[in-house]
């Protein structure tokens, strides 16, 4: 793969190899062509040669900590089982007076502050969540109002499971490219309120959190998007689902009494198998599409579901342990929030070096998967 760059000041257009940065071809651009392309770029709002990427990061973790021992007091489980099967030691639980939009709002405000923008500068809002503020309308509407943003397009990406945030990044990038200037993308889950607290097979795995980024164009981006990959395999809807409350299985008094609407059905072993396969393939695809080699990956920020899934993906990609960012020991599986929270932390902790290629890879109910390659 080659990179086409144009120096409009001296009129030189050059083609360089992405891999070696070596000059492949160089020619003077005609002045008229340069002026026309500059004007077109200005009218589009985005110069085609401008980087599109992340302008700011933010995350919010509720302050209440719930350890494995806390769960062992409520359910027939123990720290040894949870740690050895999942790698999780503790997770956060939202306060009783917090709802999804509170978590999303706190993360969004940090991301906007980090990007040096205010709510008035945001041109679009996308919220990835499977635990919305209310059934209708979407969480994005509540978030827009809470932040005091303008009457901009705001919508949710729901039901994509833990892949929702990375899929939302892909959509946001295309929107920046075509019409919009700055997009707020949020991944948020408040699973503790909507998933059964009595089923030990699922309850202990999840945590509440929100992560956010501001996406835009310009040379000041922290990280430039290089490529995306995503897909869906609808033949496996049954291995991870929460079906009561939809048209297939509407609410009834009986179902409500036994809290069927909180009954997350999960075939853990099959989810595990599919997650390893899809997250690995998606990571390989984005590296390939970016014209890079696996050996050029600096760090992978995977969806934080299970440390054994992360380790299996690492081995398949041929990476070292310190090339996989892991924080699920502290937060558990935070669904759509897991990748943005991990990315914000990895950036804050200096785990991502300037110039490094970072791969995000996620997987969730659907089955959906999504990955991205970024250049920091
Ligand atoms: N404490 C103690 N025992 C438990 C618990 C618990 N919290 N939960 C289940 N068990 C028991 C089961 O009852 C079962 O007992 P049995 O054998 O007597 O019937 C046994 O443990 C199950 O053991 P395994 O099937 O060997 O457990 P496994 O090693 O597969 O681990 C786990 C289960 C952690 C769910 C694993 O399969 C997994 O992580 N899968 C991926 C699922 C996932 O990540 N889901 C998150 C949502 S989707 C996503 O984010 C991608």
Domain span at residue 249? 225-375
Q: Please work out whether the CB of residue 200 comes within 6 Å of at least one atom of ligand 1.
A: yes
Percentage above 90 pLDDT, the chain = 81
Confidence of residue 48 (pLDDT cuts 50, 70, 90): low
pLDDT value for 242: 93
Q: Please work out whether the CB of residue 333 comes within 6 Å of at least one atom of ligand 1.
A: yes
Q: What is the mean pLDDT of residues 277-302?
A: 97
Confidence of residue 50 (pLDDT cuts 50, 70, 90): confident
pLDDT digit string, tens, across residues 185-230: 999 999 999 998 999 999 999 999 999 999 999 988 999 999 999 9
User: Are both 85 and 60 inside the same structural domain?
Assistant: yes
Q: Which of 67, 306, 334 to mutate to test the pocket of ligand 1 (most atoms within 8 A of CB)?
A: 306
User: Are both 272 and 345 inside the same structural domain?
Assistant: yes
376 pLDDT above the threshold of 70: yes
User: How far apart are the C-alpha atoms of 350 and 360, rounded to whole Å?
Assistant: 17
1 pLDDT above the threshold of 50: no
Residue 254 Cα to ligand 1 midpoint, Å, equals: 28
pLDDT digit string, tens, across residues 293-306: 999 999 999 999 99
Q: Please give the model's pTM, rounded to 2 decimal places.
A: 0.88
Task: Specify the CATH number for the domain of residue 207.
Answer: 3.40.47.10
The answer as to whether 307 is a domain residue is yes
User: Are both 149 and 248 inside the same structural domain?
Assistant: no
The answer as to whether 38 is a domain residue is no
Residue 311 Cα to ligand 1 midpoint, Å, equals: 17
Q: Which ligand 1 atom sits nearest the alpha carbon of residue 362?
A: 51
55: CB partners within 8 A, 6+ apart:
114, 115, 116, 117, 182, 213, 214, 215, 216, 218, 220, 221, 222
Q: Please work out whether the CB of residue 277 comes within 6 Å of at least one atom of ligand 1.
A: no
Q: Which ligand 1 atom sits nearest the alpha carbon of residue 201?
A: 8
Residue 120 Cα to ligand 1 midpoint, Å, equals: 45
**Is the Cβ–Cβ distance between 200 and 88 less than 8 Å?**
no
User: Are both 325 and 358 inside the same structural domain?
Assistant: yes
* Bond prior to 137 in cis (omega within 30° of 0): yes
Number of structural domains found in the chain: 2
Q: Please work out whether the CB of residue 362 comes within 6 Å of at least one atom of ligand 1.
A: no
Q: Which of 206, 272, 276 to mutate to test the pocket of ligand 1 (most atoms within 8 A of CB)?
A: 272
User: How far apart are the C-alpha atoms of 339 and 166, rounded to whole Å?
Assistant: 8
Residues with catalytic roles: 162, 303, 333
pLDDT value for 49: 64
User: Are both 99 and 209 inside the same structural domain?
Assistant: yes
Confidence of residue 41 (pLDDT cuts 50, 70, 90): very low
pLDDT digit string, tens, across residues 91-125: 999 999 999 999 999 999 999 999 999 999 999 99
pLDDT value for 34: 36
């Amino acid at each position: 793969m080659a990179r086409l760059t144009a120096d409009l000041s001296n009129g030189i257009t050059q083609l360089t190899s992405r891999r070696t940065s070596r000059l492949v071809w160089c020619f003077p651009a005609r002045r008229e062509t340069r002026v026309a392309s500059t004007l077109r770029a200005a009218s589009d709002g985005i110069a085609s040669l401008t980087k599109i990427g992340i302008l700011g990061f933010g995350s919010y973790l509720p302050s209440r900590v719930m350890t494995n021992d806390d769960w062992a007091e409520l359910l027939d489980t123990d720290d040894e089982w949870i740690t050895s099967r999942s790698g999780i030691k503790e997770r956060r639980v939202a306060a009783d007076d917090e709802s999804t939009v509170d978590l999303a709002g706190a993360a969004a405000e940090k991301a906007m502050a980090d990007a040096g923008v205010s709510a008035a500068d945001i041109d679009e809002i996308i919220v990835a969540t499977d635990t919305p503020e209310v059934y209708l309308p979407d969480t994005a509407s509540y978030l827009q109002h809470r932040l005091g943003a303008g009457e901009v397009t705001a919508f949710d990406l729901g039901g994509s499971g833990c892949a929702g945030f990375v899929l939302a990044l892909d959509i946001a990038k295309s929107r920046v490219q075509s019409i919009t200037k700055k997009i707020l993308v949020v991944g948020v889950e408040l699973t503790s309120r909507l998933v059964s607290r009595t089923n030990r097979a699922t309850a202990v795995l999840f945590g509440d959190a929100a992560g956010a980024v501001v996406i835009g164009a310009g040379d000041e981006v922290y990280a430039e998007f290089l490529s995306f990959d995503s897909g869906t395999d609808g033949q496996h809807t049954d291995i991870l689902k929460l079906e009561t409350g939809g048209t297939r299985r509407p609410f009834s008094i009986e179902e409500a009494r036994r809290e069927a609407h909180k009954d997350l059905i999960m075939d853990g072993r099959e989810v595990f198998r599919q997650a390893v396969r899809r997250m690995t393939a998606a990571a390989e695809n984005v590296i390939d599409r970016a014209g890079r080699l696996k050996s050029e990956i600096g760090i992978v920020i995977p969806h934080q579901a299970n440390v054994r899934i992360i380790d299996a993906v690492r081995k398949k990609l041929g990476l070292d342990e310190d090339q996989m960012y892991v924080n699920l020991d502290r937060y558990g599986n935070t669904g759509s929030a897991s990748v943005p929270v991990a990315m914000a932390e990895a950036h804050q902790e200096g785990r991502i070096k300037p110039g490094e290629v970072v791969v995000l890879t996620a997987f969730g109910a659907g089955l959906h998967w999504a990955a991205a390659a970024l250049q920091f």
